[in-house]
């Protein structure tokens, strides 16, 4: 099949949860998942010539809400979560490089020994040169989730969409938790306001409101289903579109 020169969006932010990269226990890193994801990202970038930035979570190692729920200072717990996202970012970079895709890790919390500090213009230059940029460390501030970081970074670098990859077989936004309610139905399209009014737990309310205000579409899809990323960029209706 000939390479497509006009993807659905020219620049996207892919939002990954840490759990999507985890082993079946929900902890650590699954090398097979990393390799699969890296291969699909490389192929998508080459075929569509699309700019890809990735915001990664850290829930497979630590979640700030877990620490605060056990009496830990919220800010301290959140900073620990930011460091967990850097671990995932470095692992994903390694997988990308082994797949033949040049990449950079940029962090909101400065760690010059292991990654570049996040600077918007430098991030854009990396993307223009065909590198995939992994944005770790959240926003660099406690009390904000990596969902909010994805929305903020997408607006900053003028991405045209956020692709939110899910895991555990969930392939979009449902009326209820499909793992608990067999009658739950999947939405194919929603507005940002629908997500807020229906109380659907897609992204936190700060991130959804930010995306609505900045007219950023979100595609929620099953990240681990092979071919989904390519199909979305090709324009197929995969998962749920929030716009």
Q: What is the pLDDT of residues 134-151, one digit of tens each?
A: 999 999 999 999 999 999
- Hey, what CATH topology would domain 11-242 get? Carbamate kinase (3.40.1160)
Global pTM? 0.94
Q: Provide the pLDDT confidence category of residue 5 given band limits of 50, 70 and 90.
A: low
Q: Domain extents for the chain?
A: 11-242
Distance CA 103, CA 119 (A): 15
Distances (CA, A) of 130 to 119, 163, 231: 17, 19, 20
pLDDT at 94 over 60: yes
Of 33, 22, 30, 36, the residue nearest 230 (C-alpha): 36
Are 140 and 82 contacting, i.e. CB atoms less than 8 angstroms apart?
Answer: yes
């Amino acid at each position: 099949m000939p390479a497509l020169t006009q993807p659905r969006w020219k620049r996207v932010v892919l939002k990954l949860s840490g759990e999507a990269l985890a082993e079946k226990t929900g902890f650590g890193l699954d090398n097979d998942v990393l390799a699969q994801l890296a291969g699909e990202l490389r192929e998508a970038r080459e075929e569509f010539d699309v700019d890809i930035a990735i915001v990664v979570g850290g829930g497979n190692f630590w979640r700030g809400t877990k620490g605060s729920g056990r009496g830990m200072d919220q800010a301290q717990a959140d900073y620990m979560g930011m460091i967990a996202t850097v671990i995932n970012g470095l692992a994903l970079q390694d997988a990308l490089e082994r797949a033949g895709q040049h990449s950079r890790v940029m962090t909101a919390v400065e760690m010059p020994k292991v990654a570049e500090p996040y600077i918007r213009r430098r991030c854009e230059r990396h993307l223009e040169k065909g590198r995939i940029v992994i944005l770790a460390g959240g926003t660099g501030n406690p009390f904000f989730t990596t969902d909010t970081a994805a929305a903020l970074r997408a607006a900053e670098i003028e991405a045209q969409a956020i692709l939110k990859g899910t895991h555990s077989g969930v392939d979009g936004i449902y009326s209820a938790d499909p793992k608990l309610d067999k009658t739950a139905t999947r939405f194919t399209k929603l507005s940002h306001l629908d997500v807020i009014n229906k109380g659907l737990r897609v992204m936190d309310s700060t991130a959804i409101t930010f995306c609505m205000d900045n007219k950023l579409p979100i595609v929620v899809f099953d990240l681990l289903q092979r071919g989904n990323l390519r199909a979305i960029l090709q324009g197929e209706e995969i998962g749920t579109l929030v716009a």
